[in-house]
Amino acid sequence: MASPLQADIVIVGSGVAGALAAARLAEAGLQVLILEAGKPVERGQAVQNFWNAPIKVPECAYPVQPEAIHPTTDRPTDWYQQTGPDLFKSTYLKVVGGTTWHWLGTCLRLLPSDFQTQTLHGYGVDWPISYADLEPFYLQAEHALGVAGDSAHDLSSPRSGPFSLPPIPQSFVDRSMDQALTGTRFQVRATPQARNSIVHDARPPCCGSSSCIPVCPVQAKYDATVHLKKAQAAGARLLDQSTVVQLIPDAEGRITSARFRRWDQSEGEVSATVFILACHAIETPRLLLASRSGAWPNGLANGSDQVGRNLMDHPVQLSWALSRDPVYPYRGPLSTSGIENLRDGPFRRERSAYRIEIGNDGWSWPTGAPLTLAAQVADRGLSAAQMNQALARDTARHLRLTALTEQLPELDNRVSLDTTKKDIYGVPLPHIHYRVDDYARRGMLQAQKDHQEIFTHLQASEIHHATDFFGAGHIMGTCRMGADPRQSVVDAQLRSHDHDNLYILGSSVFPTGGTANPTLTIAALSLRTAEAIVRGWGD
């Protein structure tokens, strides 16, 4: 093995958390080295992969590599070794830029009440910070990512400034929904999203390709390579195809180095003053647990026995129907509006809150339409002209509603190390035990009723409600923040209670999940921690 590399700060992971932190820290003059397990993505090839994929799951644009295996939606038990009553269905990528390559781009803030669920509703735990503490960093994050939104509506999350970009235009589906629901309790609002509505940051506006998941062909949608480039321009170094397999602490518990393996199986090691883990809510606890030793038999940062615990998602209630009148889906971003006024209320003592995402992608998610519809129509024995008429008639009326429900943090919903299987670097695979709690299931049941009511207002027919939950792709918990070292992994600044030069970024630190898509909160927390590191550097 060559002589160890050195840096002021080592960041493990190049997704939105790692990239934002790297850019801020490098711009402050610190020597930053980023380690990423995956390789760079060539956008044109990713688009081609998507077009050619026979099964168009969110990961299909990014073929799984044995040197950087990630889970896939259609094979939830290949990488994840699963036990428990329910399958964990959400995934992530191992590529330069992380999972922002195939995220939708939704950038909602948490609600102020989401930070105090124990105090206000008697469940979960309170965050060690308040909405007011994070609000300035939410605004910074929106400007950093280039969030397009309607500043006239704060969506119950008070704002200290406007969105940086005007909103993405609402779709015909949205406007039809809004008109049908006028005067009801359902309020249709434009969704804030990290997608250019105008030319911004040397990137073009959205061209409506309808492939946000899995890949934006023109980079109108933000991905973390934007800030990786800014970090590198400020002097940060990126080592891709380099998987960290162990963190090494000294006798006092300070992390002294990180050992990594390259795709060619050669080994490397890097020492630093500060280490930041930003490698997602599955890989972060996996690395901490795999770094166990005689001095740290339960793994690193795990004096509380909370590492890997409290795994959460936003279990999805999916519903679809045929509207009476054409709404013309399958155009524009996959979602441009939602119903956000169901995210809070006294009912949260009894059942989950949720937001309802209005889909522009018709029946793609639940049935694989329009391709599957074409096959069904072909089986009817119709003439070519009749087939065209049937396809046009049905696809123009496809509706999709998605309720993303809040899930409680539970100790037994956890990531641990599998006892029998390892990856090619000798690190045990992630073992997941998962259950969707009754609190979330009661929320999904109410969401199904709300979906039925909404479809009724649209005079829809052929109404379907999924009988099982879907994964939202929002992997949260596993290294939660808190003021009490006995009950949490990191403090309010996301510094490990056990290792004073180790920080953890990303959704793994969320004590509770609320109902907002997590990326904007990840970004805000990352900027807040980066500022704290810069402010305290040299103390």
Contact 307, 285 (CB under 8 A): yes
Distance (Å) of CA 183 to CA 327, 457, 461 = 20, 11, 22
Q: Which has the closest alpha carbon to 228: 34, 94, 46?
A: 34
Look up residue 15 and give its DSSP letter: S
Catalytic residue among 227, 314, 474, 499: 474
- Count of C-beta atoms within a 10 Å radius of residue 305: 13
Rounded Cα distance, 254 and 284, in Å: 17
Residue 133, class by beta-carbon neighbours within 10 Å (0-12 exposed, 13-18 middle, 19+ buried)?
A: middle
Q: Which has the closest alpha carbon to 400: 350, 330, 467?
A: 330
State the DSSP H helix or E strand holding residue 285, giving kind and residue range, or none if neither: helix 280-290
Q: What's the alpha-carbon Rg for the chain, to the nearest Å?
A: 23
The alpha carbon of 510 is separated from its chain's Cα centroid by a whole number of angstroms, namely 12
Read off the amino acid at residue 225: T
State the DSSP H helix or E strand holding residue 230, giving kind and residue range, or none if neither: helix 225-233
What the block records as the tokens of 188 is: 């249709």
176: left (phi over 0), alpha (psi -120 to 50) or beta: alpha
Report the chain's terminal Cα–Cα distance, integer Å. Answer: 33
Coil, helix or strand at residue 153: coil
CA angle, 137 then 138 then 139, to 5°: 85
Q: Is 431 a catalytic residue?
A: no
What the block records as the tokens of 47 is: 């688009």
Contacts of residue 218, defined as CB under 8 A and 6 or more positions apart, other chains included, come to: 203, 204, 207, 209
The alpha carbon of 277 is separated from its chain's Cα centroid by a whole number of angstroms, namely 16
Which residues are the active-site residues?
474
